[in-house]
């Protein structure tokens, strides 16, 4: 599958996406690559077709969240790998919501994978690849000024709301939303500044388990060498009703 890059000025290249200058000031083009990484890019492979699937799944989820009143950076889809988005000043936090014990939570606290948590758990990680995105507390955020108390309240409320909406969307597709990661940014609206959901929401940034079999349908297939990662993403898209135009 072609990964032709847009003929625009490149602003930033991440592990799974590239950002280009947009057609208007205050906009960017977000391009989804097939590159797949884990363990802070120690493990890397190009997975044919992953970028197209992630764009489609992310676009759908962002649109559903917008309908539910969650402000996002998404403006429109420009091509199979390209989205027009609002330029946002990214807050350096990875906001993780967890419904079921898995991943680093299991390792850190010695839980059994698959235990349903008493209630959804929100965690904050400092977004810094060189440091390996360390887990932090709310007080770290306040002391180091990564965002204001008001912004953190807003982010926490949005993350809980997003969890409710996404859990329902996936449940209707026979998929358990185990956990996921969000990123937020600040955009200028007239004179005012507001928080929007940014980045992407896809099987790269979520744990998704089939509700019948508990089979993993997310990037853990790559992290744990289970195979069939792109097929699983395709299955997620199909279950969400997104097959016709992929």
Q: How many CA atoms lie within 13 A of 142 on its CB side?
A: 7
Sorted by sequence, the CB contacts under 8 Å of residue 78 that are 6+ apart come out as 29, 84
Residue 205 or 235 with smaller CB distance to ligand TMP? 205
Residue 27 or 104 with smaller CB distance to ligand TMP? 104
- Report angle CA 75, 56, 152 to the nearest 5 degrees: 55
Sorted by sequence, the CB contacts under 8 Å of residue 86 that are 6+ apart come out as 26, 27, 28, 73, 75, 187, 196
Residue 12 or 148 with smaller CB distance to ligand TMP? 12
Residue 22 or 218 with smaller CB distance to ligand TMP? 218
The minimum distance between CB 227 and ligand TMP, in angstroms, equals: 19
The token pair at 212 is: 């019948």
Q: How many CA atoms lie within 13 A of 189 on its CB side?
A: 12
Residue 236 is given by DSSP the state H
Nearest-CB residue to ligand TMP?
A: 103
Q: How many CA atoms lie within 13 A of 44 on its CB side?
A: 8
Residue 2 or 112 with smaller CB distance to ligand TMP? 112
101: closest CA among 8, 207, 1? 207
The minimum distance between CB 160 and ligand TMP, in angstroms, equals: 16
The minimum distance between CB 162 and ligand TMP, in angstroms, equals: 13
The minimum distance between CB 237 and ligand TMP, in angstroms, equals: 17
Residue 171 or 189 with smaller CB distance to ligand TMP? 171
Residues that bind ligand TMP in the complex, under the rule CB under 6 A: 96, 103-105, 133, 179-181, 205-207
Which own/partner pairs from 226-229 qualify as long-range (CB within 8 Å, at least 24 positions apart)? Answer: 229/36, 229/47, 229/50
CA dist 133 and 124 (Å) reads 9
The minimum distance between CB 96 and ligand TMP, in angstroms, equals: 5
Residue 22 or 141 with smaller CB distance to ligand TMP? 141
The minimum distance between CB 126 and ligand TMP, in angstroms, equals: 12
The minimum distance between CB 179 and ligand TMP, in angstroms, equals: 4
């Amino acid at each position: 599958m072609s990964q032709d890059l847009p003929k625009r000025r490149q602003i930033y290249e991440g592990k799974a996406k590239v950002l280009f200058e947009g057609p208007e000031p205050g906009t960017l083009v977000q391009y989804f690559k097939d590159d797949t990484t884990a363990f802070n890019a120690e493990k890397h492979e190009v997975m044919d077709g992953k970028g197209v699937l992630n764009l489609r799944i992310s676009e759908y989820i962002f649109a559903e969240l917008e309908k539910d009143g969650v402000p996002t950076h998404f403006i429109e889809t420009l091509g199979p790998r390209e989205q027009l988005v609002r330029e946002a000043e990214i807050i350096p936090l990875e906001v993780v919501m967890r419904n079921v014990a898995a991943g680093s939570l299991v390792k850190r606290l010695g839980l059994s994978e698959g235990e349903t948590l008493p209630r959804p758990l929100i965690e904050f990680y400092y977004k810094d690849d060189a440091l390996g995105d360390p887990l932090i507390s709310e007080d770290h955020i306040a002391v180091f000024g990564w965002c204001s108390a008001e912004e953190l309240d807003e982010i926490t409320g949005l993350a809980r709301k997003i969890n409710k909406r996404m859990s329902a969307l996936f449940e209707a597709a026979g998929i358990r939303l185990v956990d996921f990661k969000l990123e937020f940014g600040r955009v200028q609206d007239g004179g005012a500044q507001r928080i929007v959901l940014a980045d992407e929401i896809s099987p790269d940034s979520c744990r998704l388990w089939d509700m019948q079999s508990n089979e993993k349908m997310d990037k853990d297939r790559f992290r744990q060498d289970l195979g069939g990662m792109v097929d699983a993403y395709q299955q997620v898209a199909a279950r969400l009703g997104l097959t016709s135009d992929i």
